[in-house]
Amino acid sequence: MKAFQYRISVEIEVPRQKVIETLFDYEQFKNYQEPPLKRYELKQGEWLKKGAVVDLVYAYKKTELHMAEITVEVDLPDSIHQLYILGEVKNKCISTFTDTKKGTLWSMDVTFQFETDSNQNKLEYMKKTEEDMVTFKHYAEHL
């Protein structure tokens, strides 16, 4: 087994409530996520409530990837703890949202857990997380 942790923070020049409404609106995922979200389905529980399980289906290289999103804890608009499972990879994300003079500071504590050590590069994962957060920032700021 292999695991690593890191934290990424991005300031978004949008009020916190609008950041949260946009970030957790599954219909808007296709406007900024890569690979693109094809569809999603609530499999268990209630949207954004503890115990909710959502099947996220992404288009990837002429196939579909199914990723489970499990809501572990919710204290919005302050924080949310979600677990993503794709095959044998687990990705824990704890997002916190703090008001700033310019808008909202979104910080994410990320833990990746792999069944095997396949030379996963922590810096590559950090770069991808930061790119995804910055892509969302630009999207939210230009709505």
Sequence-separated (6 or more) residues with CB below 8 Å from residue 136 = 10, 12, 22, 23, 32
Across the beta sheet with 37-44, the strand order is: 2-12, 104-114, 89-99, 79-86, 63-75, 53-60, 37-44
The residue extents of the domains of the chain are 2-36+71-141
Residues 6+ apart with CB under 8 A from 88: 114, 115, 116
| Structure-token match 């990705």, residue found | 91
Single pTM value for the model: 0.94
For domain 2-36+71-141, the CATH superfamily is: START domain (3.30.530.20)
Q: Give me the mean pLDDT over the 100-118 stretch.
A: 97
Task: Check residue 60 and give its pLDDT.
Answer: 87
Please tell me what DSSP assigns to residue 48.
Answer: T
Cβ–Cβ under 8 Å, residues 44 and 51: yes
| pLDDT of 128 above 90 | yes
Is the pLDDT at 51 greater than 90? The verdict is: yes
Distance CA 56, CA 65 (A): 8
Q: What rounded mean pLDDT belongs to the chain?
A: 96
